[in-house]
Amino acid sequence: MKLKAFLAICIAILIPVTGYYLVKNASDKSVLMPKRLFWDSVITKNDKGKLSYDTVWHRTEDFALINQLGDTIHLDSIKNKIIVADFFFTHCPSICPDLTKNMRRLQQSFMKGGDPMQTVDSSIVLFLSFSIDPERDSVPVLKKYADHFGINSDNWWLLTGPKKTIYDLALNEFKLGLIDGNGVDTAFVHTQKLVLLDRDHVVRGRLGPQIYYDGLDTSSFGDLAKDIGLLMMEKPSGPEEPVFDPVQMSIFFGITLIAVIFVVRFILKKQKQSGDA
């Protein structure tokens, strides 16, 4: 085959592959995903003098607490679910009742039909409310509180247990009080902030003055609902994730094949016309 024919085939192959990358990158950049907020370390790799960096994001440590049904809950046993967490206590006379009502509305929004955000399968989202007064908030007390507010226990658990476990979780794992921490007392974690965890139990949020979500602010709740939807579309992490989407690549290879056939037939036709002349 002549050089011109070979170059033409190479161009035909490159066009759809380049198109694939352009479409993929444009799609990825057009969506503002909630950011991973806290990292544990950065790994430096040296591949033949070329340095690259991998961030090891902080994953929430496992815990064992008891929910309003008397079941022991381990974080590590919660698989492939996005988690929305808050901190409350049942005897709270101020922000907690309103916070619970807003959380209930959010829970219901993922269980109803209607708008696209509300048709999401509720089994993918789990709500966790941690009592910051576990000495008084026993299992029967939590159950009574849940019944009073009409909480559906299918995907919303009120949790109690050792105070140290709950406070370590709030301050050392979710980092409440370190950033955006005005009003968070390390001796009594009374806050209206909501924490969003992705499927890998990594804290996610929005960069800026308010990186957590405000449980008493309607606009912030809208941001939270949107970000939950975005995390549900996020591809799983890990080395098993394919570099290319099989369906997309099949389409583009099909286009490539058609383009190559067209170019080859065009060149052969031109060669034949030249020979006849």
Cβ-in-10-Å burial (0-12, 13-18, 19+) of 255 comes to middle
Separation between Cα atoms, residue 104 and residue 221, nearest integer Å: 12
Residues in the chain: 277
Question: Does residue 102 have a pLDDT over 90?
Answer: yes
Per-residue three-class SS string for 21-40: HHHHHHHHHHCCCCEECCEE
pLDDT in tens, 172-225: 999 987 544 454 555 568 889 999 999 999 999 987 777 899 999 988 988 998
Residue-level pLDDT at 22 = 46
pLDDT band at 77 (very low <50, low <70, confident <90, very high): very high
Helices (H) and strands (E) in the chain, counts: 6, 11
Query: What's this model's pTM, rounded to 2 decimal places?
Result: 0.70
List of residues 6+ apart from 158 with CB closer than 8 A: 67, 68, 129, 131, 137, 142, 145, 146, 151
Task: Report the Cα 234 to chain-centroid distance in Å.
Answer: 6
Distance (Å, rounded) from C-alpha 144 to C-alpha 149? 9
Over residues 124-174, the pLDDT tens digits come to 899 999 999 999 999 999 999 999 999 999 899 999 999 999 999 999 999
Which pLDDT tens digit goes with each residue over 229-270?
899 888 766 444 444 455 555 555 555 555 556 556 656 666
Domains of the chain, each with CATH number or no CATH: 57-233 (3.40.30.10)
pLDDT of 232 reads 87
Residue 10 has pLDDT above 60, yes or no: no
Mean pLDDT along residues 15-40? 62
